[in-house]
Structure 1
């Protein structure tokens, strides 16, 4: 019986190389932004470039795996390299492109509030923001309120059948449990200011929660604003909805 000729797949080799380079570029973008070496625009461009290389690694891995499976006269090797390249390429490319896809489904805004007529205002957090950050005047874009209403029609104030003091205490505890950096707490004014830092890129979003009495109940309003970027990819609205849901179900 004729022995099969062994041949290492070039696609498997290139898949692993592209995947390693993709991961290195993505890591450089994340660390570069976190350590202040580059601004967020540059970091995002580099990150997208790394994700594109991740896609190349995925395609090379698929071609390699198919060649290995279908090889007859020549025994093609390199399955481990191909699988590693596939897994690493997916780990880098998938989160980036899924986030971009999500961004197309939501309005290109970054300042979200439950009260469009009288949004909760920031005070203590103002000292943490610079001129390079997004403004807090809600004047850009000019149709911000309309865009928010169209994108998040179900977002609004939360009315709870509890007394304000209890709700305020629960809100502070819930914000702390989420790992937010609590900047200011004023029980007298019913105001909580906090900062949430995203795990991956380290983007900082500023949050203010307002708790006030309404008749014999308590009304809670919340605002979440990204410091950088035109679109928040839906992150601020998702944060508000999740927080108010948990606060409404707090025992």
Structure 2
């Protein structure tokens, strides 16, 4: 006599979860590549990127629903639900980390070692062309206060060497960090100050960010100030402060090496 074997039904959310998660992974990866290599404008790229993240959230939600149904109704598909959740987590992990930084860091996009008299960005033809005609706006005092509270270690760099030697170190540090130098004016003239204008790009999306470095003579050497400003968004997620710290460390190391 043949025995009838009744299989437990398969959870439909568990079946759909990995497929939706794979689609989210493809959408976010393509969006990231298109933005990184300049194949799409930033607004459209971020819309597509946001869509990919929303799809990943949907995949994670399907996995959670599947877990509940598998627990309550004994349905099959646990492995599929776990796979979908893992894929969704891969898509959402880095944005979640960025979201945490946004919640814990001040909402500013312009950082300077001199908060009272920040270095001004050059308005020369070369600098404006490199920045697509953009001049980073002046920062309100309340935002500078947010910077002082959050980044107490961001301060001018003082070196006991002549301004001309300090300017050479500034340029070398910028080159070592991979910045694109768009203008370099050695110290001299009426004020005796020099400046360097450069552009750096964010690590993943390669979005341009503007930098100006001011080199001023002092009685006992040289004072170096740097300002870094993001072109896109009102929250830099700490990238400008990180860039300034890297520059100050590189310039300090170069100064120690020549002594």
* Residues 1:57 and 2:59 aligned together: yes
Residue matched to 1:145: 144
Aligned residue for 1:173, secondary structure, equals: helix
Looking at structure 2, the residues matched to 245 and 32 of structure 1 have their Cα atoms a distance apart, in angstroms, of 33
Gaps of 5+ in 2: 188-192
TM-score by length of 1: 0.77
Larger Rg: 2
How many aligned positions are there?
Answer: 243
Residue pair 2:121, 2:212 contacting (<8 A) in 1 also = yes
Compute the displacement of 1:8 (Å). Answer: 6.2
Structure 1, unaligned stretches of length 5 or more? none
In 2, Cα distance between equivalents of 1:136 and 1:166:
28
Which position in structure 1 is the counterpart of 2:16?
A: 14
Tell me if structure 2 keeps the 8 A contact 1:25–1:46: yes
Quote the residue 1:219 is aligned against: 223
1:22-49, Cα deviation, whole Å (9 max, x unpaired): 1222234334545363333x43343233
Instruction: Kindly provide the CA deviation profile for residues 93-114 of structure 1, in whole angstroms up to 9, marking residues without a partner as x.
Output: 1111211221122222212111
TM-score by length of 2: 0.75
Question: In the aligned structure 2, how far is the partner of 1:168 from the partner of 1:183?
Answer: 15
- Could you tell me how far 1:228 is from its partner in structure 2? 1.6
Q: CA RMSD in A?
A: 3.3
User: Residues 1-251 of structure 1 correspond to what in structure 2 (within 5 A)?
Assistant: 10-34=12-36, 35=38, 37-40=40-43, 42-58=44-60, 60=62, 76=76, 79=79, 85-123=84-122, 124-130=126-132, 135-139=135-139, 141=140, 143-188=142-187, 189-250=193-254, 251=257
